Amino acid sequence: MTYQNYSLKQLQQIDAAHHLHPFTDHKELREIGSRMITRAEGPFIYDSEGTELLDGMAGLWCVNIGYGRNELAEAAYAQMKEMPYYNSFFKCSTPTPVLLSKKLAELAPKNINQVFYGSSGAESNDTALRLVRHYWALEGKPQKNRIISRQMAYHGSTVAGTSLGGMDGMHQQLGGAVPNIVHVMMPYAYELALPGESDHDFGLRAAKAVEDAILEAGADNVAAFIGEPIMGAGGVKIPPASYWPEIQRICRKYDVLLMLDEVITGYGRTGEWFAAQTYGIEPDTITTAKALTSGYQPLSALLVGDRIASTLVEKGGEFYHGYTYSGHPVACAVALKNLEIIEQEGLVERVKNDTGPYFARMLKERIAGHGLVGEVRSVGLMGAIEIVKDKATKERFSPVGSAAVVVRDHAIANGMMMRATGDSMILSPPLIWTRATIDMAGDRILKALDLAERDLRKA
């Protein structure tokens, strides 16, 4: 029996009875009932009642080539028929992860040539954490194991991912984080720059917080710094141009490894294959997932730089780590086809030269002037609209986060799927968006802002 035999109400009741959702207040959801998304095509998603929504989030930052790509279904089908699964343990391999690894080595920054697979971003961050600590142990420095991360960072929701991340609420429910991980300030000028401080100077100061943390621990005790090039779940927080080069300089100075979490920024979102290239930095590891398959299959790839890889290979012996689905043949076949489509359609270049700049102009020229908007910001096709009560003083509506939810609900009611995090409205659309899609998004967002302003100012 397919789901079409159930009414929305019945599906909601079964959902409420049996399904625990991620990051959800279950009681609240059960009272409201979940929205049932049943179909998707191109840039649109459709719910069970036939409502069309322009998907401003590419699913959850992942469906970069848009929905309804038969080629990916065909790649999965062909691979499942030929050989649905075999593992990469015990001196075995299958062809698709082999070929995908070669492709990823070609796309990644020059110093990166090896890949370790998982099924999710969080799993790959677990791998990255294990790997950098193991690296220093193999180099005879087991005490060099502290990791520096940032407040508001998101690195996934496993125990290691939560520990690496800087979300207070998640830490409070953890009951004990992985030891020896510290968090420093995030590079978010709109909120944290001092009066009169330039973006440039703020970026250097935010980077200095990393240097201070290294000096406080002693460089001999610090394994690595980890960061999202642009913080995603924390609110699309874009660092000043001075930040990443300074972080790279500091990491080199103190011989601290640089780990980038590109789960969101990877595979074209910023107008380059990786944000490492956008910011001109050479990380030792890059965590990737999501758009590697455009979300059509769960797959993550930790891209491992030559420095770590050569020690692991030459001095490592057996690395006691891996997952049943490391290098899953079907997921890797889908990834290969996805990357081929991104290349053939020139989506990365299109974001860099056309849709990215057009998207930035739409935000600046149409949205930034709105009475509720404190700031707009974007890189490539990743952006945020900051909701404030008072543009001049940056005062927020109270409680913090409540206003963006009002905007979001109006956006959804007007055909625009967006996410609210804190007081940031977030956009991370499929890379197939055209200028016309960006115009459509602009219309719907403006309408939502107008309706929200009416509600919020009246309250």
Interface with ligand PXG (CB under 6 A): 60, 120-122, 125, 154-156, 228, 232-233, 261, 263-264, 289
Instruction: Report, in Å, the least distance between residue 265 CB and ligand PXG.
Output: 8
Residue appearing with tokens 């802002």: 449
Of 96 and 125, which CB lies nearer to ligand PXG in the complex structure? Answer: 125
Q: How far is the CB of 120 from ligand PXG (least distance, A)?
A: 3
58 CB-contact burial (10 Å; exposed 0-12 / middle 13-18 / buried 19+): buried
Q: Please identify, using beta-carbon distances, which residue of 62 and 193 lies nearer to ligand PXG.
A: 62
Rounded-to-10 torsion of CA 433, 434, 435, 437: -50
Query: What is the closest distance, in whole angstroms, from the C-beta atom of residue 125 to ligand PXG in the complex?
Result: 6
Of the pair 119, 144, the CB lying nearest ligand PXG is at 119
Shortest Å, Cβ 451 to ligand PXG: 24
Q: How far apart are CA 201 and CA 315, in angstroms?
A: 42
Quote the crossing angle between the two packed helices 121-138 and 306-315, to the nearest 10°.
Answer: 60
Closer to ligand PXG by CB, 315 or 321: give it: 321
What is the C-alpha separation between 112 and 304, in angstroms, rounded?
A: 6
Contact 126, 158 (CB under 8 A): yes
The least distance separating ligand PXG from the CB of residue 153, rounded to whole angstroms, comes to 8
Q: Smaller CB distance to ligand PXG: residue 114 or 162?
A: 162
Report the nearest approach of ligand PXG to the CB of residue 439 (Å): 25
Nearer to ligand PXG, 193 or 379 (CB): 379
203 or 266: CB nearest ligand PXG: 266
Least Å distance, CB 264 to ligand PXG, is: 5
Which of 228/423 has CB closer to ligand PXG?
A: 228
| Nearest CB to ligand PXG, comparing residues 211 and 228 | 228
Q: Residue 454 Cβ, how far from ligand PXG at the closest point, in Å?
A: 27
CB of 23 to ligand PXG, least distance (A): 7
